[in-house]
Structure 1
Amino acid sequence: MSFLELDRVAKQFGPQTVVDDFSLTVGKGEFVSFLGPSGCGKTTTLQMIAGFLDPSRGAIRLEGRDLTAMQPAKRGLGVVFQSYALFPHMTAAENVAFGLEMRRVPRAECRERVRAALEMVGLAGYEERYPRRMSGGQQQRVALARALVIRPSVLLLDEPLSNLDAKLREDMQIELRQIQRNLGTTTILVTHDQNEAMSLSDRIVVMNQGCIEQIGTPQETYERPASAFVSQFLGKTNDLAATIDLSATPRRLAAGSWSVPAPAGIAGPVTVSIRPERIGFGDAGIAAKIVTRIFQGNHWLFQCESECGPVIVIRQNDGQPQPAEGEAVRLAWRPEDMSLRGAGGVA
């Protein structure tokens, strides 16, 4: 039996369907991210799990128990909001203790659990600090401690890192993942940041216009996107028009002057999707010219104009000479590094 299950869940606001036919099973201790652009339904789905919104249809089950008619406070879930939602008139310790007091946890036990929770998130010694005297990262830690101190069955995170600057956000991602792994708490994260989803998640649910586009591990969704939307949304990619040469034996897949044996299950015009870092410069491949060369520290980014259209190439900065702007090059990649979309499906 799955730990958390969403069974064909949908949500409508009047005539508008915001989430449609959403089905997902989450294992105990798993970290799953809902990833997608603004308005795709990911926060609405999280709010239905939390109980802040009622599904229009479908069921949500936790360890086999139907949560649909259960009040949010009785679901045993921890929630961290984008705005942190700390009480400004309460100290850090009082904010963290709030959920325990509502559950009438004995005072001595409450104090010890609050102390342990603040220590866990690196805020030992901040017990008497008020939110207005804390940085954004510190407030985020208080909000996380408040959600975890009640020992929730599931931790729900609604873009909790979006208000932090880039460096602090990266640091908090590492800390959040370490805390989650140490506690083994089943966690659902809502984010529009693909790097955050790939850094933190065991699995990613890619959403678009209220529907699931793909569910998979970060590596699966990145390297084998199931749709054009996933390919374009999850990192940079190159989509090149290609054809199947049926007259060749065996059949061949060709994009410009690049050609390889065609895989089974694909027919007619196809799209080759290839990540920029999988493309190399060589003696064979599609003809191209370097239009722009950009140095980005640990790698170079090349914008190329090829016989198949615009192509982005990313090469690691290994100290070796790189092609110059205006230089003619050949672009090639290994067949196992590409994914195909065509009339016969995805390969």
Structure 2
Amino acid sequence: MSLLELDRVGKSFGPNTAVEEFSLGVAKGEFISFLGPSGCGKTTTLQMIAGFLDPSQGAIRLEGKDLVAVPPAKRGLGIVFQSYALFPHMTAAENVAFGLEMRKVARNEREERVRSALTLVGLAGYEDRHPRRMSGGQQQRVALARALVIRPSVLLLDEPLSNLDARLREDMQIELRQIQRNLGTTTILVTHDQIEAMSLSDRIVVMSKGRIEQIGTPQEVYEQPASAFVAQFLGKTNEFAATVARTADQAKLVAGSWSAPAPVGVSGTVTVTVRPERISFGDAGLAGRITSRIFQGNHWLFQCDTECGPAIVIRQNDGQMQPEQGAAVHLVWQDADMSLRAAKAAA
């Protein structure tokens, strides 16, 4: 049984539908990310879980109990906002203790839990510091400690790392995942950052225009995208059309000089998706020519013109000779490294 269940949840604002038929079960201890561009409905969905918005339809249940009629403060959820929303006149310890005070936790227990929460997020010794005297990363840790100290059944994170610089954001991703694993807190993260979602999540819910495009593990949504949107939103990708050619004893996918055995049940024209890092240069395959090559430290990025249109190839900087700009090449990959979908789905 899921700890948290959303059953065909929807939200409309007048004639505009923000979220449509959203269904998801979240297991206890699971880390889920809602991933998508601005306006896709991910924050609206999080706000319905938190109780800040009422759904227009559907049900939200926590441990089998209906949440829709329960006020936000009584849902037992921890929330970290993008802006952190710390009280500027309170110290770090006072900010963290606020939720416990509202729940009338005894002073001795409150002080111990605040101390433990600040230690957990690496802020032992910062108890008396005010937010204005703390860095963005430290403020984010205080906000996280404040959400965790109440021991929430579900932790909701609304793009909490978006205000941090790239290096600190990466460090905080690692720390956040480690804290979540150690505590086993069920967590839902809203983000538009694909790397963040793939780094942190057990499963990712990819959203577009208020609808779920795909739900799966990071590996599933990256390597087996269910739609053109998912393939293009999660990192760089190559797509081209191939046709199934059948003979008396076999069926092949064919696109220019490239061919591969056609999976059972595939027919007509399909869209082939291959990630750039799965492609190598070989003696035979999809013919093309290098139009540019860019050195990016630990890898090279090649742009190619092929018989089937432009393609990107990413090769590790392993010290081996790399093709020069203008060189004729053949692009090759393993059958297991490509995904297929009906051509009409690419429209």
TM range (shorter): over 0.9
What root-mean-square deviation, in Å, do the aligned CA atoms of Structure 1 and Structure 2 show? 1.2
Please state how far the C-alpha of 1:344 moved relative to its aligned partner.
Answer: 9.5
The superposition leaves residues 259-292 of structure 1 with CA deviations (integer Å, 9 ceiling, x where unpaired) of 0111122221111000000000000001111111
Instruction: Report the residue type matching 2:85 in the other structure.
Output: A
Instruction: Give the Cα separation in 1 of the matches to 2:38 and 2:334.
Output: 35
Instruction: Report the residue type matching 2:60 in the other structure.
Output: I
Instruction: Report the residue type matching 1:256 in the other structure.
Output: G
For the 8 Å contact 1:300–1:315, the answer to whether it is kept is: yes
- Identity of aligned pairs, percent? 79
| 1:304 partnered with 2:281 | no
Instruction: Give the Cα separation in 2 of the matches to 1:214 and 1:266.
Output: 21
Runs of 4+ in 1 over 4 A off after TM superposition: 343-346
For the 8 Å contact 1:265–1:345, the answer to whether it is kept is: no
Query: 1:204-223 residue pairs with structure 2 within 5 A?
Result: 204-223=204-223
Please state how far the C-alpha of 1:246 moved relative to its aligned partner.
Answer: 2.7
Instruction: Report the residue type matching 1:130 in the other structure.
Output: H
The superposition leaves residues 2-29 of structure 1 with CA deviations (integer Å, 9 ceiling, x where unpaired) of 1100000000000101000000000000
| 1:143 partnered with 2:139 | no
Please state how far the C-alpha of 1:255 moved relative to its aligned partner.
Answer: 1.4
Q: Which residue of 2 aligns with 1:327?
A: 327
The superposition leaves residues 126-150 of structure 1 with CA deviations (integer Å, 9 ceiling, x where unpaired) of 0011101100000000000000000
Instruction: Report the residue type matching 2:127 in the other structure.
Output: E
Query: 1:90-169 residue pairs with structure 2 within 5 A?
Result: 90-169=90-169
Q: Which residue of 2 aligns with 1:202?
A: 202
Aligned residue pairs total 346
Q: Which residue of 2 aligns with 1:284?
A: 284
Unaligned runs of 5+ in 1: none
For the 8 Å contact 2:154–2:188, the answer to whether it is kept is: yes
For the 8 Å contact 1:11–1:17, the answer to whether it is kept is: yes
Q: Which residue of 2 aligns with 1:78?
A: 78
For the 8 Å contact 1:291–1:326, the answer to whether it is kept is: yes
Instruction: Give the Cα separation in 2 of the matches to 1:265 and 1:155.
Output: 43
Instruction: Give the Cα separation in 2 of the matches to 1:200 and 1:24.
Output: 18
Q: Which residue of 1 aligns with 2:55?
A: 55
For the 8 Å contact 1:241–1:308, the answer to whether it is kept is: yes
For the 8 Å contact 1:266–1:343, the answer to whether it is kept is: no
Q: For residues 183 and 8 of structure 1, do their structure 2 counterparts lie closer, same or farther at Cα, with a shift above 3 Å needed?
A: same
Unaligned runs of 5+ in 2: none
Q: For residues 18 and 344 of structure 1, do their structure 2 counterparts lie closer, same or farther at Cα, with a shift above 3 Å needed?
A: closer
Q: Which piece of structure 1 moves more, 40-49 or 295-304?
A: 295-304
Instruction: Give the Cα separation in 2 of the matches to 1:345 and 1:68.
Output: 36
For the 8 Å contact 2:228–2:345, the answer to whether it is kept is: no
Q: Secondary structure at the match of 1:137?
A: helix
For the 8 Å contact 1:266–1:344, the answer to whether it is kept is: no
Q: Which residue of 2 aligns with 1:172?
A: 172
Instruction: Give the Cα separation in 1 of the matches to 2:46 and 2:101.
Output: 25
Please state how far the C-alpha of 1:95 moved relative to its aligned partner.
Answer: 0.4
Instruction: Give the Cα separation in 1 of the matches to 2:129 and 2:255.
Output: 62
Q: Which residue of 2 aligns with 1:241?
A: 241
Q: Secondary structure at the match of 2:288?
A: strand
Query: 1:248-267 residue pairs with structure 2 within 5 A?
Result: 249-267=249-267
Instruction: Report the residue type matching 2:81 in the other structure.
Output: F
Instruction: Give the Cα separation in 1 of the matches to 2:179 and 2:279.
Output: 37
Q: Which residue of 2 aligns with 1:274?
A: 274
TM-score normalised by L of structure 2: 0.98
Query: 1:2-13 residue pairs with structure 2 within 5 A?
Result: 2-13=2-13
Please state how far the C-alpha of 1:247 moved relative to its aligned partner.
Answer: 3.9
TM-score normalised by L of structure 1: 0.98
Instruction: Give the Cα separation in 1 of the matches to 2:83 and 2:343.
Output: 45
Instruction: Report the residue type matching 1:273 in the other structure.
Output: T
Q: Which residue of 2 aligns with 1:64?
A: 64
